[in-house]
Amino acid sequence: MKFPKTYTLKEISEIIDADFVGDDAFPVLGMNEIHVVEEGDIVFVDHPKYYDKALQSKATVVLINKEVECPEGKALLVSDDPFRDFNKLTRYFKPFETAASSIADSAQIGEGTIVQPNVFIGNHVKIGKNCVIHPNVTIYDGCLLGDNVIIHAGTVLGADAFYYKNRPEGFDRLLSGGNVVIGDNVDIGAGCTIDRGVTGSTTIKEGAKLDNQIQVGHDTVIGKKCLIASHVGIAGCCVIEDEVTLWGQVGITSGATIGKKAVILAQSGISKSLEGGKTYFGYPAEEAREKLKQIASIKKIPEILKKLKKI
């Protein structure tokens, strides 16, 4: 998330009432999660296990719960609760806007686009040319759709990320200030849910085709010409590279990368990143031929045990 202007370190510290280490006028350009952070951004960290990762990231400002040695060229915001204060910044720069109508006045809808009855289009949404938005689709604030996009009935674009901090009094939600970006010539089936990014974008690139009832988590990127069958669940922060095929009921863990032109067979579970250009199956998913050989070998175990008993 980029700020509308450059802020100083001192100005940001005053917004969240935190101490800081660095020059008062140190420039701050935005805020992001660790996996999408850029130079000029704030990143937050609240566990010693991840201090080094945050301090050595591209972020130039680290919102942290302990004053530590600050790397050269960077600054610190020192807070007793970085998670809470990251939420404060999201509220400040991306406050919730109520809806005054089913299609916001600030929404932009391209020439030739058809919007069927009972569609909700939120504030600052942009929809390209020659799209078809079927009944009961919900498009939350700030989402961007390209040209020739088809969204089938009941799909939701831009709901909050499933991201919580476990506190003694209950789960504390990390606010979502990002959006969903849909490329040209994308089809999304009925009843799909595409969550917005926490600070960045959940992205489905040009030519991807999604079946019905698919869940895509926050900040995930789906590449060009991907084919995804129904009941697939993709967790947050995944990268699905170009021309990947995911068959029905595939589940993918958070942060995994699926390489270009990989094929994942139905009901497979992905617990780690996988190379492209191969076909995978099972849980944990492995190359399909190897996995099928393993299954065939398991079926032979009773016969082998019978033979051993006769010896």
The Cα 175–Cα 108 span in angstroms is: 25
Sequence-separated (6 or more) residues with CB below 8 Å from residue 227: 208, 209, 244, 245, 246
Determine contact, residues 285/263, Cβ cutoff 8 Å: no
Active site residue 218: yes
The Cα 158–Cα 202 span in angstroms is: 8
Catalytic residue among 134, 152, 218, 231: 218
What is the residue-wise DSSP string for the chain? -EEEEEEEHHHHHHHHT-EEES-TT-EEEEE--GGG--TTEEEEE-SGGGHHHHHTSS-SEEEESS--PPPTT-EEEE-S-HHHHHHHHHHHHS-----SSSB-TT-EE-TT-EE-TT-EE-TT-EE-TT-EE-TT-EE-TT-EE-SS-EE-TT-EEEEPP--EEEETTEEEEPP---EEEE-TT-EE-TT-EEEPPSSSEEEE-TT-EE-SS-EE-TT-EE-TT-EE-TT-EE-TT-EE-TT-EE-TT-EE-TT-EE-TT-EE-TT-EE-S-B-SS-EEETTTTEEHHHHHHHHHHHHTHHHHHHHHHH-
Active site residues: 218
